[in-house]
A and B are shown apart, each in its own frame.
Chain A
Amino acid sequence: ETGVTQTPRHLVMGMTNKKSLKCEQHLGHNAMYWYKQSAKKPLELMFVYNFKEQTENNSVPSRFSPECPNSSHLFLHLHTLQPEDSALYLCASSRGWDNEKLFFGSGTQLSVL
Chain B
Amino acid sequence: GIQVEQSPPDLILQEGANSTLRCNFSDSVNNLQWFHQNPWGQLINLFYIPSGTKQNGRLSATTVATERYSLLYISSSQTTDSGVYFCAVGSSNTGKLIFGQGTTLQVKP
Contacts and interface: CB of A to CB of B under 8 A. Distances in A.
Majority SS at the chain A contact face: loop
Interface stretch (B14-22, B62-70, B75-83, B89-97): B89-97
B1 to A, nearest CB: 11
A2 B44 contact: yes
B60 interface: no
Given A99-B31, A101-B48, A42 B96 contact: no
Contacts of A106: 40-42
Interface residues of B, number: 25
Nearest to B95: A98
B95 A97 contact: yes
Contacts of B42: 2, 104, 106-107
Contacts of B97: 45, 102
A91 B100 CA distance: 18
B101 interface: yes
A21 interface: no
A101 B101 CA distance: 19
Contacts of B45: 2, 101-104
A90 interface: yes
Interface of A: 2, 41-43, 45, 48, 56, 58, 88, 90, 92, 97-104, 106-107, 109
Interface of B: 4, 30-31, 33, 35, 40-45, 48, 50, 86, 88, 90, 92, 95-102
